[in-house]
């Protein structure tokens, strides 16, 4: 039976875990964007070793489950190296590294779609590689894929429950803890599901408005 009195007592406790959940999602997203851009740039390197190494890393990470990567970073890495990270830092790095490999392909496709003349013009102006990338190529390649980036933000947010596997107290972990105390599962998991739905819908609405803004933006 659904007990509203228990719900009123439970809801504030669950909502207190929402900021940490959003922080992990946004932190992972920012890292995924920055690292994804670097991977996309490295995939176009004239150096064959750099290009092949980048492709190999991207393919390997995309081919292995995120949960396995998180376990390696949190449990195995400290045993192999002096490096030990908190559950939050591991979650952000794990999410960022995993989805950077997906976003790198998005950025690479957008870069490949630019007219060849842009590269030739930068060469004719004798621009350095740094200025070519950051003053000519990326400012044109990133705006068209901003809606796709927004969709990946939503995906990353929906993946945050997996961080409970490395003891990070996000929304799902807080729900499990409350369930273990009250021995009631119906209300906690239902409310958690509704919170995820509401936040995902709000993010989706924001992405849709951003997409409409860029679609309606006049050329030039």
Closest CA to 21 of 164, 147, 149: 164
What are the residue ranges spanned by the domains of the chain? 20-170
Looking at residue 23, the DSSP 8-state letter turns out to be: H
Q: What per-residue confidence (pLDDT) applies to 13?
A: 92
Q: Which CATH superfamily is domain 20-170 in?
A: MetI-like (1.10.3720.10)
The rounded distance, in Å, linking the Cα atoms of 166 and 189 is 20
Nearest-angstrom CA–CA distance, 146 and 186: 38
Looking up tokens 């990270």 gives: 85
Low-confidence ranges of the chain (pLDDT < 70): 215-220
Q: What is the pLDDT of residue 216?
A: 64
Residue pointed to by tokens 């496709």: 109
CA dihedral 212, 208, 134, 40 (to 10 degrees): -130
* Helix axis angle, 18-43 to 186-216, nearest 10°: 40
In angstroms, rounded to a whole number, what is the distance separating the alpha carbons of residues 203 and 196? 10
- pLDDT score recorded for residue 217: 65
pLDDT, position 220: 47
């Amino acid at each position: 039976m659904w007990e509203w009195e228990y719900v009123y007592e439970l809801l504030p406790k669950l909502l207190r875990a929402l900021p940490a959940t959003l922080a992990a999602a946004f932190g992972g997203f920012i890292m995924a964007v920055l690292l994804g851009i670097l991977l996309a740039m490295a995939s176009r390197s004239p150096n064959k070793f750099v290009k092949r190494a980048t492709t190999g890393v991207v393919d390997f990470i995309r081919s292995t489950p995120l949960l396995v990567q998180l376990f390696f970073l949190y449990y195995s890495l400290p045993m192999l190296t002096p490096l030990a990270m908190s559950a939050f830092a591991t979650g952000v790095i794990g999410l960022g590294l995993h989805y950077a490999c997906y976003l790198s392909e998005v950025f690479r496709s957008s870069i490949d779609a630019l007219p060849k003349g842009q590269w030739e013009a930068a060469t004719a102006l004798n621009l350095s590689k740094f200025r070519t990338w950051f003053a000519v190529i990326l400012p044109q390649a990133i705006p068209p894929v901003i809606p796709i980036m927004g969709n990946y933000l939503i995906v990353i947010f929906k993946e945050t429950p997996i961080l409970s596997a490395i003891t990070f107290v996000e929304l799902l972990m807080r729900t499990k803890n409350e369930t273990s105390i009250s021995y009631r599962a119906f209300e906690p998991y239902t409310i958690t599901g509704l919170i995820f739905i509401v936040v995902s819908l709000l993010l989706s609405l924001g992405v849709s408005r951003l997409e409409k803004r860029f679609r309606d933006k006049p050329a030039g």
